[in-house]
Amino acid sequence: MSRSLPPLLSRLRDADGLPDGIPGLSLEEKQTLAQELRDEIIGVVAHNGGHLAPSLGVVELTLALLSVFDARRDPIIWDVGHQSYPWKILTGRADRFETLRRYGGISGFPRREESPCDHFGVGHASTSVSAALGMAVARDLRGGDEHVTAVIGDGALTGGLALEALNQAGGMGRRLIVILNDNGMSISKNVGAISLFLSRNLSRHGVMRLKNRMGDAMRSVPKVGDWLLDTVRRGETSFKSFFTPGMLYEAFGINYIGPVDGHDIAKLERHLEAAKVLDKPVLLHVRTRKGRGYTPAEENPSRFHGISRFDLQTGRSISAPLPSDDYSGPGFTPAFASALCDLAEQDERIVAITAAMPDGTGTSMFQTRFPSRFIDVGICEEHAVTLAAGLAARGMRPVVAIYSTFLQRAYDQIIHDVCLQKLPVTFCLDRAGLVGEDGPTHHGAFDLSWLRAVPGLSVIAPRDELDLRNCLATALSLDAPAALRYPRGRSERLPMEILEKCRQGDRPGFTLLPVGTGELTLRGRELCVMAVGLQVHMAEEAARRIEAESGRRISVFDARWVKPLPEKQILELARAHHSLLLVEENTRAGGFSSAVLELLADNDLLNGKCIRRAALPDDFVPHGSCEHLRDLTGLDQNHLHALMREMLDAQRIPERQRDGSRPA
């Protein structure tokens, strides 16, 4: 794909690629530029996929910020970064924007290494105010005078981290600007009391009418009516503030301005100029429309929050995305959703909890069928886990469905509130392993490592969709905490017709699995591959290729349980095979392969063995398609095939030659 830039964008890029020319544009030119930005974003995201609706909603706000502030000197931190596409285009990346989310191209999120205008890297929600406050404190300690701004959505503002930062900012009184981008949504519809509070929009007429009615009522009180009315009039400022969204922030000690139309560039600039001269923290409340400028996104902002490739004219997703592997139809997430609902039909104790991701985790199906047993906590993962602990302590069976990367935020609660008390909470970690184009902030690369370190927590990695059903049923049958991790997309291990039948309701029952027991799926002699999750299928296919090529048969063992390990089976297989290959889509530091090596070391089975590992590197994996990233990290079928061939060929070398001595 090759795209030519529209006139104003091209002119700005030709200057120096940075936003110096924006303040000099007329209002009419800025409005034209806003349309050019929307056209560019829609065109690229339609081809590459990405976060469309959030970025379309902040085009005018981005232009206003770049008109008032110096982006290289004055840090502007975008919370989460879903809305950063206009920012990227206007801060030196217009000519590379078509590479968005591609391997080797620009990231879908702000990155410090990508531009001098990206002062802080983001990807998870609710971090911006804390980071901005830290920068403001650093500025004051250094004697600087730059302006520091955090842009945070009303969804992210429900996160405890953001509220903690606002509390600190108000207490410290540092010069800081917080822009609340209020579009009434996070990813799905917002939840919680703060969201309800922000959605109140009493008009001045409504407030005055209420005042008049209260005045009449107070005058009618015998003897003290006039005194009551006079007292209230003296406190009129406090009375008014009770009916404005600003009350919440003023309580934090933060000046409040707004609400302001987030699509009126001139008004935004005036209010930003007013905010920048204040010597105390200020919150500018901006109201925007998510998806503005593209009708399908305005009508369905949740679907267009993050979307794979779609048809530009109709807004419909393209069923065979390129270059992503974001499969539509059957897959791990739909399998989890249907299994959870099937189990909830049998057990009224099951409660589903998610953190602002009912659609992404599949729990929206549960919400529809069992609304009284469904809880969306918003972007509050720590709260989700301790809420689940409370439910479990009173006899319920909570299931916490959160993406792997986001559950990291609740590690203390998993240890302290759930596992220490041995409470039967089931954690379902979607998007485990590589997730693709969202990159290092979203890969579920570490969960096996940090989960298996927790005493008393069972950790299970199902190999396919039907296995996931049985693993979930098994986890819920335990009177103890358990965690399932499963990847994005589908396994390809099962025929599509089976998955389609399951999705349509023709599903098998549940089989409870023995705890700490794996399954030998292929039997060989010289080499044993031990794997978990999606990599079982890849190992099986690579082993079958080798058998077809050379007749040499390889054992493939699906460990399934990362904790407790199937120790007896692993030790027996280790004694029966000269070579072992350990495979996992998790960092090589501390995960499944580390657990196996520890077991072998404890049983004196390392000496004389050829043991290799295929795992994610001890590094942050970049963004790109899952297919490309598996090739990059050696976890695709071709690399596993080559590694198995290499290990088998090494066994043919005479023993004395292999240890370095001369051949006879």
Which has more pLDDT, 656 or 627? 627
* 60 vs 237, residue with greater confidence: 60
Give the mean model confidence (pLDDT) for residues 101-105. Answer: 92
How far apart, in whole angstroms, are the C-alpha atoms of residue 580 and residue 240?
72
Establish if 40 belongs to a structural domain.
no
| Model confidence pLDDT, tens digit, residues 249-298 | 778 889 999 899 999 999 999 999 999 999 999 999 999 999 999 999 99
Does 1 score more than 90 pLDDT? no
Asked whether the beta carbons of 453 and 442 are under 8 A apart, the reply is no
Given a cut of 70, whether residue 500 has pLDDT beyond it is: no
Q: Are residues 559 and 640 in the same domain?
A: yes
Give the end of a domain, one of 292, 319, 353: 292
pLDDT at position 253, please? 87
Residues 496 and 593 in one domain: no
Residue with tokens 């041995």: 422
Q: Which amino acid is at 586?
A: N
Q: Would 479 be classed as within a structural domain?
A: yes
Q: Is residue 328's pLDDT more than 60?
A: no
Judge whether 594 lies within some domain.
yes
Same domain? 183 vs 257: yes
Among residues 338, 572, 531, the alpha carbon closest in space to that of 448 is found at 531
Q: Which residues of 573-603 are buried (b: 16+ CB within 10 A; e: fewer)?
A: bbeebbbbbbbbbbbbebbbbbbbbebbeee
Q: Is it the case that residue 52 has pLDDT exceeding 50?
A: yes
Same domain, 450 and 533: no
Q: What is the mean pLDDT of residues 475-486?
A: 98
Question: CATH number for the domain including 537?
Answer: 3.40.50.920
* φ/ψ (deg, to 5) at 489: 85, -150
Q: What confidence score (pLDDT) does residue 323 get?
A: 32
Q: How confident is the model at residue 154 (pLDDT cuts 50, 70, 90)?
A: confident
Poorest-confidence range of 55-69, 198-212, 346-360, 382-396?
A: 198-212
Residue range of the domain that includes 79: 69-84+92-202+244-292
Phi then psi for 259, rounded to 5 degrees? -75, 155
Round to whole Å and give the CA distance between 215 and 208: 10
pLDDT of residue 327: 29
Residues in Cβ contact with 54 at an 8 Å cutoff, skipping those fewer than 6 apart = 82, 83, 153, 290, 305
Pick the catalytic residue from 36, 40, 98, 381. 381
Beta strand 519-522 with 555-558 is: antiparallel
Q: 477 with 549, same domain?
A: no
Given pLDDT bands bounded at 50, 70 and 90, which one contains residue 7?
confident
What type of residue is 528? C
Lowest model confidence (mean pLDDT) among 82-91, 230-239, 579-588: 230-239
Does residue 123 form part of some domain? Answer: yes
Asked if residue 530 and residue 443 are part of one domain, the reply reads: no
**Residue 397 falls inside a structural domain:** yes
pLDDT at 203 over 50: no
Residue with the two structure tokens 């990405």: 50
Catalytic residue check, 290: yes
The model's pLDDT over 438-449, given as tens digits with 9 standing for 90+, comes to: 999 999 999 999
Residue among 290, 285, 289, 291 at smallest CA distance from 260? 285
Check whether 228 has a pLDDT greater than 60: no
Asked if residue 249 and residue 150 are part of one domain, the reply reads yes
The number of beta carbons lying within 10 Å of the beta carbon of residue 182 is 24
pLDDT band of 212, cuts 50, 70, 90: low
Q: Residue 27: inside a domain, yes or no?
A: no
Per DSSP, helices labelled H in 300-454 are 332-346, 358-361, 363-369, 381-393, 404-407, 411-413, 447-452
Active-site residue, from 175, 309, 409, 463: 409
The whole model's pTM is what?
A: 0.85
User: At 418, which amino acid appears?
Assistant: V
DSSP letters for 270-314: HHHHHHHT-SS-EEEEEE--TTTT-HHHHH-TTTTTSB--B-TTT
Q: Over the stretch 398-422, which tens digit does the pLDDT of each residue have?
A: 999 999 999 999 999 999 999 999 9
pLDDT at residue 128, rounded to an integer: 95
% of the chain with per-residue pLDDT over 70: 84
Q: Quote the pLDDT of residue 215.
A: 58
Q: From the CB of residue 526, how many other CB atoms can be counted at a distance below 10 Å?
A: 17
State phi, psi for 150 to the nearest 5 degrees: -115, 135
Is 189 annotated as catalytic?
no
At 566, the amino acid letter reads: P
Domain finish residue from 473, 503, 533: 503
| pLDDT at residue 247 in the model | 73
> Quick one: pLDDT at residue 324?
32
Q: Do 554 and 526 contact (CB within 8 A), yes or no?
A: yes
Please tell me the predicted confidence (pLDDT) of residue 302.
84
495 and 526, same domain (yes or no): no
The closest alpha carbon to 239, from 273, 257, 275, 215, belongs to 215
Largest CA distance in the chain: 118
283: in domain: yes
CATH number of the domain enclosing 130: 3.40.50.970
Distance CA 526, CA 555 (A): 8
Within this chain, do residues 476 and 615 fall inside the same structural domain, yes or no? Answer: no
Task: List the beta bridge partners of residue 522.
Answer: 556
Q: Would you state the pLDDT for residue 663?
A: 38
pLDDT digits (tens, 9 = 90+) for 519-537: 999 999 989 999 999 999 9
456 and 336 belong to one structural domain: yes
In the residue annotation, 382 being an active-site residue is answered as: no
- Averaged confidence pLDDT in the chain: 87
Number of domains in the chain: 3
If pLDDT is split at 50, 70 and 90, which confidence band does 224 have?
low
The answer to the question of residue 464 being in a domain is yes
Q: Could you give the CA distance from residue 597 to residue 283 in angstroms, rounded to a whole number?
A: 53
Among residues 101, 139, 287, 290, the one annotated as catalytic is: 290
- Say yes or no: 551 and 473 in one domain: no
Contacts of 208 (CB under 8 A, 6+ apart): none
- Mean pLDDT of all residues in 612-616: 97
Per-residue confidence (pLDDT) for residue 319, from 0 to 100: 52
150 and 272, same structural domain?
yes
Q: What does the pLDDT average to over 588-600?
A: 97
Listed in sequence order, the residues at least 6 apart from 308 whose beta carbon sits closer than 8 Å to its beta carbon are: 49, 317, 318, 321, 324, 326
For the chain, give the percent of residues with pLDDT over 90.
Answer: 72
Q: 505 in the Ramachandran plot: left (φ > 0), alpha (ψ -120 to 50) or beta? A: left
Strand partners, 611: 580
Q: Which amino acid is at 320?
A: A
Number of alpha carbons in the 13 Å side-chain half-sphere of residue 481: 27
Please report, to the nearest 10 degrees, the dihedral formed by the alpha carbons of residues 650, 651, 656, 658 taken in order: 20
